[in-house]
Structure 1
Amino acid sequence: MKNLKLAQIITAMVTPYNENDELDTTRLKSLLEYLLKNGTQGVLINGTTGEGPNLSVAEKEEMIQQTIKIVNDRVPIIAGVGSNSTSATVADVQKISNYSDLSALLVVVPYYNKPDQAGMIAHFTMVADASKIPIVIYNIPGRTGVKMSVDTVLKLAEHPNIIGVKNCTGAADLAVLIQNAPEGFLVYSGEDEDALTVKVLGGAGIISVASHIFGNEMAQMYRDVDCGNVSEAGQNMRILIPKVAALFRLPSPAPVKAALNERNILVGDPRLPILPLDDEQQDFLEKVLSQE
């Protein structure tokens, strides 16, 4: 089940810790089984929501190994890799792409260095050339400090080992990418508020944080679109939008981890520099999430 084209709702999964702030593989199994029963059609590990920058090399590898074992080929698995160093990213990709059970690697646009478009093309070309499995570009200027242009994404889409983009630059860019990308190139939104938009525009789907909590609702919304019940899908999205906003009101993944813990899907607190929610913040979050 490595075919990403069959996965429209991919959960950008949190990394579960125990009370001692250690990676907890028992909780990982519980989390994965919960997600797969509640709308998730693919998982992304070691990404932004998974606190990839705060995981050690050994923890990242254990997350990959254990997730492959637990998922057991039921849904596609994507692993997040990449840094602001091209050489370090290539080294990571060469190592991690040996895991043939992964469907793809999600590689973030280089951050902090603020490369220009030509630099981004050179970076991703070198990374894609080095990888044994396909690459999905992660374009998220709110975190990297630099935006990959639509033209740059389309240029990179011509590379045979770059199969898609997780794009976080709004609906207009999604539309242009979907309209002009080569056949088979996968255009995902990385913004939950655009979950319905990307579906209606004809994109591949959503790489989602909200699907931790609202996976079934999102899956139903996509089924409604497929059946032509667009008004029902729109009503569902209108209900989800304020809840999505609440999940990102504070630095992620603190709110979604708090929501999971509240539902007895134990994943621990985020690691510093992200703080867990205090009681007042938790109460506000649950008030919004529980609204009909």
Structure 2
Amino acid sequence: MRFKKIEGLIAATFAPYNGKGEINPSILSNYAHSLKKNGVKGVFINGTTGEGASLDLEEKQILMQAWASEQTEAFKVMAMLGGTNQKESIILGKLAADLGLYGVAVTAPYYFRPGNVAQLVDYMQPIAASAPDLAFYFYHIPLLTKVDLPMLGLLEAVPDKIPNFAGIKYTHHNLMEFNQCLRFNNGSYDVLWGWDETFLAGLAMGAKGAVGSTYNFAAPLYQGIKKAFDGGDMQKALALQEKSIDFINLYGRFGGPAAGKALLKLCGIDCGDFRAPVKTLDPEMLEALKAQLTAQGFFDFSNLNTQDS
């Protein structure tokens, strides 16, 4: 494999806004410090959690430049280049190459959708070529893109078309296909697990690296799951995974995606509000969420518990 496989947690970061809803890169230093202190191995920026579909080109460029300054050998920066706009993705790919980011990714176009793997590869090829020395990932999230093509077929099609294809950010529940992709061609590709609430299932099917939004504020919990799993203590691993399930289950009652940003705020990193149409939690709802998280013992295993006082 041309690129070393990622092991550990990659945080899918939130877009940082100020009180006016404008991009606020000044908080990223503290944000990155919190992630690094909690053992996170890198960030996946401008993706679903990062509201990439709601950012304009300049905003994405600003965030890429700001996060690039936080990259080290031990802390990778991966940038989502886009989905429906190939031309913009190429512009961002060239910037990622100039900045020396670790890797880049794209989703399937989700308005005019590719009807087969060949069309998807043809769409991705010039984008990947804009950053030929960077690890290029396909972000498979059919729940949102409504594009559910066979990922084994994609892996079979890319070698001659996309030489820097590194793997798949796999945010889908098809555990059988996930495992098949991991084993494809003697494990030639990096397949990163993308469902936080089933992290343990991903580990059981062979995952070594994972990308997720809840690693922003609960990385110690997932590292505990991994440690218990590696040690053969499946009862403990499951008990910890159930804690993840319980707090993620609150999302539906507390604003959906906005709940994740609210949790991050409660853990000391204020990235502002989500952009419309996502409804932001009002102060009363935020306090109610905090109370339920406290009752669950969330703050005993959140990033806040290990931050500097």
Same fold (TM over 0.5): yes
2: distance between equivalents of 1:12 and 1:4? 20
Instruction: Tell me the amino acid that sits aligned with residue 177 of structure 1.
Output: C
What is the CA–CA distance in structure 2 between the aligned matches of 1:181 and 1:273, rounded to whole Å?
A: 43
Question: How far is 1:24 from its partner?
Answer: 2.0
Separation (CA, whole Å) in 1 of partners of 2:94 and 2:221: 38
Instruction: State the 4+ residue runs in structure 1 displaced beyond 4 angstroms.
Output: 248-252
| Cα distance change, pair 262–47 in 1 and its aligned pair in 2 (3 A) | same
Change (3 A) 1:123 1:208: same
Q: How many residues align?
A: 289
**CA 231–78 in structure 1, closer or farther in 2 if over 3 Å, else same:** same
> Counterparts of 1:222 and 1:184 in 2: how far apart (Å)?
23
- Alignment deviations for residues 44-90 of structure 1 (CA, whole Å, 9 cap, x no partner): 11111111122232222221222121344441110111231334433
Instruction: Name the structure 2 match of 1:139.
Output: 140
Partner AA of 1:282 in structure 2 = L
1:130-279 alignment, distance < 5 Å: 130-132=130-132, 133-156=134-157, 158=159, 159-170=162-173, 171-180=175-184, 182-247=186-251, 253-279=257-283
Contact conserved, 2:6 with 2:190, CA < 8 A, in 1? Answer: no
CA contact (8 A) 1:195 1:205 kept: no
> Which residue is equivalent to 1:116?
115
Amino acid at match of 2:236: E
State the shift of 1:107 in Å: 1.0
SS of equivalent residue, structure 2 residue 18 = coil
1:62 is matched with which residue? 62
Per the TM alignment, residue 91 of structure 1 is displaced from its structure 2 partner at its CA by 3.6
Displacement, 1:208?
0.7
Per mean C-alpha deviation after superposition, the further-off stretch among 208-217 and 84-93 is: 84-93
Is the Cα–Cα contact under 8 Å of residues 157 and 185 in structure 1 kept in the other structure?
Answer: no
Partner of 1:286: 290
Native 8 Å contact 1:14 1:253 kept in 2: no
Alpha-carbon distance change, 252 to 124 in structure 1, aligned in 2, over 3 angstroms? farther
Q: Which residue of 2 aligns with 1:79?
A: 79
Which amino acid in 1 is paired with 2:200? L
Query: Kindly tell me: are residues 217 and 4 of structure 1, through their superposed partners in 2, closer, same or farther at Cα, counting changes over 3 Å?
Result: farther
- Of 268-277 and 103-112, more deviation after overlay is shown by 268-277
What is the CA–CA distance in structure 2 between the aligned matches of 1:98 and 1:249, rounded to whole Å?
A: 42
CA distance in 2, matches of 1:258, 1:165: 29
Aligned residue for 2:21? 21
Paired letter, 1:64: M
Structure 2: how far apart are the matches of 1:147 and 1:77? 27
Deviates more, 1:68-77 or 1:278-287: 278-287
What are the superposed Cα offsets for residues 102-121 of structure 1, whole Å, 9 maximum, x if unpaired? 11101111111121112112
Instruction: Give the corresponding residue for 1:104.
Output: 103
Give the whole-Å Cα distance in 1 for the aligned partners of 2:89 and 2:34.
32
In structure 1, the gaps of 5 or more residues are none
Residues 169-210 of structure 1: per-residue CA shift (max 9 Å, x gap): 212321222232553411112211221121221123221111
CA contact (8 A) 1:186 1:203 kept: no
1:18–1:86 CA distance, 2 compared to 1 (3 A): closer
Give the SS at the match of 1:98: helix
Query: Which amino acid in the other structure matches residue 93 of structure 1?
Result: G
Query: Please, what is the CA RMSD of the aligned residues?
Result: 2.3
